[in-house]
Amino acid sequence: MTSRLARALLWLPLVACGDDGPPPQPETPQFGSATPEELVLAMTLEEKVDQMHGSSLAAVDDLFLTPDNARLGIPGFRMVDGPRGVRAGRATAFPVAMARGASFDPELERRVGRAIGREAAARGANVILAPTINILRHPAWGRAQETYGEDTTHIGAMGVAFIEGAQEHVLASAKHFACNSIEDTRFDVDVTIDERTLREVYLPHFRRAVVDAKVGSVMSAYNQVNGHYASENAHLIRDILKGEWAFDGFVESDWVFGTRSTVAAANAGLDIEMPAATYFGPWLVEAVQAGEVDEAVIDEAATRVVRKKVELGASMTPQLDPDVIESAEHLALAREAARAGMVLLKNEGALPLARAAGTLVVVGELATVANLGDQGSSGVTPTSPVSPLEGIEAAAAPLSVVYIAGPSLTAADEATLAAADAVVVVVGLTFEDEGEALFNVGGDRDTLSLHEEDEALIGAVAALSDNTVVVLEAGSALVVRPFIDDVEALLMAWYPGTEGGNALADVLFGDAEPGGRLPISFPADEADLPPFDHESLEVSYGFLHGYRHLDAIGRAPELPFGFGLSYTTFSLSDPSVSPGSLDAVGSVTVSVTVTNDGPRSGSEVVQLYVRVVGSEVERAPRDLRGFGRITLEPGASGVVEIELSAADLAIWKDGGWQLEPAAYFLEIGTSARDLAFELPLTIGG
Ligand code: BGC
């Protein structure tokens, strides 16, 4: 590592590469009119290799650069994080991806992706280092908040929407490819995984990012997969990504420590070493000259990189526009997305809060904090983030609001609480508890429980008030068993972004519905989940996790995947499948009627799971294969239609995708544990 450090230090000052060649000749092809192939053909070996690494270890104006080629007029990339907004100066901090995953609303996510892409371009970037589409294998994963949930079908739908929106302005980078679901050991851990689990559980959403959304770039993970670092994993990059999926973009490494070799990485298909050359650059030129890397490998990588630049065209050049950043439109979208992701986990009539003369007591230190989540690479710095207390105070009239910080309560506090009309307790985690592992902050969680003092505070408040609403903030699941029975309402707010306090008030007072459904299972007990080892450097990823694991071991979750209450009620009727059978290359449409039979307008998320009986291989008891969201006025009905293709049912067997002869059943409902209907699906009949 020492020599690597020395190599890295070479790049500390910004090195301008490839811009000192001879002045353009009349016959020299130029960016803007030449094809990628023509441009690469005109390059020297050194120039091609210059397309394959970043410019400096440190960001410049918060952007990570790759070199320009002045001779051919090819601009470099200007990359910026990340998944919940632009990590450069001030920007709109959207709710974390897990909160947006809870919306189960790809159209909303497309708008968020578009807004983040637009802000990235307005900051002068042309690549956004997002979305994170790693599977939440265990909720203790420190970076849980950056991804959309635990299920591949759901992550795929949300990731595709984000990418399509963002790529209206910049290139997106789907990350971290692949099997990156542990933080503390991320640089070294070797994930052992069988081919079927890889193909069916950890990769399908990446495939959709490539095939459906045509993502421009893919970032390799830090970790190893079956003994090879992801950045030099030929099976992942060459066989699957570039081979089977015909990915036409480029693969960039994750940042420092993301690239581990010169020859192996280049030959495996890594196209760009970020953020600076420590293995590529001059060492890659030498490897080509020594015959260890064929120049055709360099040509391929340079062509991939230049192709995406040519496709971006004029958008490669910075289009600075300060008016776009934190525009009123983007702040309104952040508020909408926060509301849409809040999940009502329990409600015994306490919500929505009545706006009548009286006293609302807000409790908890986090009530005064705009709790935005991780401060690592996904951190965003907004100008005026709104805390829960600020949001509630602005919306509460004619209620008067009293604030008690806690966690310990004085006698006067107890009297105030006992006399209150309603109490809202805001508790949860912060960037110190979970997130990207940075200098003893963040990292993986040791427990899924709340802090002891938070649990004690909830208990003390609930004993004094019979109208206690608890608002939870965290990036993924919490064990709520110790207090859920004691409180009248429980609302999961995640890390709700810059407008989180206003969005929370909208939901608490019923100006908006809590739109979310859980994109992950909340276990009753942590022991019900597969083990999460964030210390060992060797970890095995099994076929089952999340609801698939809980169903398989017959343990009821505390709160199931897909679950979330509304302020109204819905009923499902008339399920049908059309046509009545599915042939091996076809698709069917599954329909169900949803009726809002409650008192106010609201949204329901219908979920389609597939159950297979008589399989020859291990199966999850059910797999989500589609979902649809519908918003209905009171008394109204509408039909949700979900497409299901034969490919959605295939399993990886004997080196290929196969539709197993077995009995297939379609389960339709509103969570993994609330399945109103089951329809048999005939295959090939
Ligand atoms: C993270 C990436 C991020 C990159 C650049 C890495 O440490 O894993 O997700 O995009 O840094 O900030």
Q: Tell me how far apart the alpha carbons of residues 351 and 84 are, in angstroms, rounded to a whole number.
A: 28
Ligand 1 atom index nearest CA of 82: 10
pLDDT tens sequence across 47-78: 999 999 999 999 999 999 999 999 999 999 99
Sorted by sequence, the CB contacts under 8 Å of residue 582 that are 6+ apart come out as 588, 644, 646, 649, 681, 682, 683, 684
Quote the pLDDT of residue 4. 59
Is the pLDDT reported for residue 1 higher than 50?
no
**Mean pLDDT in residue range 568-582:** 95
Query: pTM of this prediction?
Result: 0.96
Is the pLDDT reported for residue 249 higher than 90?
yes
For CATH 3.40.50.1700, the residue range(s) in the chain are 331-553
For CATH 2.60.40.10, the residue range(s) in the chain are 570-683
Domain 331-553 of CATH type 3.40.50.1700? yes
Ligand 1 atom index nearest CA of 173: 10
Which residue's C-alpha comes closest to atom 9 of ligand 1? 377
Quote the pLDDT of residue 21. 57
For CATH 3.20.20.300, the residue range(s) in the chain are 3-316
Which amino acid is residue 676, in one-letter code? A
What sign for the dihedral angle of Cα 103, 108, 114, 115?
negative
**Mean pLDDT in residue range 408-436:** 98
Instruction: Judge whether 254 counts as a catalytic residue.
Output: yes
Taking the centre of ligand 1 as the mean of its atom positions, its distance from the CA of residue 636, in whole angstroms, is 46
Which residue's C-alpha comes closest to atom 12 of ligand 1? 377
Quote the pLDDT of residue 2. 45
- Is the CB–ligand 1 distance for residue 177 below 6 Å? no
Mean pLDDT of the chain: 96
Helices (H), 439-534: 452-464, 481-484, 500-508
Which residue's C-alpha comes closest to atom 7 of ligand 1? 255
- Say how many C-beta atoms besides its own lie within 10 A of residue 533's C-beta: 16
**Mean pLDDT in residue range 17-32:** 70
Taking the centre of ligand 1 as the mean of its atom positions, its distance from the CA of residue 591, in whole angstroms, is 41
| Axis crossing angle, helix 328-341 with helix 500-508, rounded to the nearest 10 | 50
Q: Which residue has the tokens 């589409």?
A: 133
- Is the CB–ligand 1 distance for residue 252 below 6 Å? no
Which residue from 81, 182, 441 has its CB within 8 A of the most atoms of ligand 1, so it is best to mutate?
Answer: 81
pLDDT tens sequence across 516-549: 999 999 999 999 999 999 999 999 999 999 999 9
pLDDT tens sequence across 659-676: 999 999 999 999 999 999
Taking the centre of ligand 1 as the mean of its atom positions, its distance from the CA of residue 254, in whole angstroms, is 6
- Which CATH number applies to 3-316? 3.20.20.300
Share of the chain above pLDDT 90, in %: 94
Q: Tell me how far apart the alpha carbons of residues 394 and 505 are, in angstroms, rounded to a whole number.
A: 8
Is the pLDDT reported for residue 260 higher than 90?
yes
**Mean pLDDT in residue range 394-413:** 97
Given the residues 105, 151, 254, 433, select the one marked as catalytic.
254
Taking the centre of ligand 1 as the mean of its atom positions, its distance from the CA of residue 518, in whole angstroms, is 26
| CATH fold label, 570-683 | Immunoglobulin-like (2.60.40)
**Nearest one of 454, 424, 453, 427 to 362, comparing CA atoms:** 424
CB-side exposure of 133: number of CA atoms within 13 Å? 34
Which residue from 77, 96, 127, 129 has its CB within 8 A of the most atoms of ligand 1, so it is best to mutate?
Answer: 129
**Mean pLDDT in residue range 89-105:** 98
- Is the CB–ligand 1 distance for residue 183 below 6 Å? no
pLDDT tens sequence across 197-242: 999 999 999 999 999 999 999 999 999 999 999 999 999 999 999 9
- Is the CB–ligand 1 distance for residue 87 below 6 Å? no
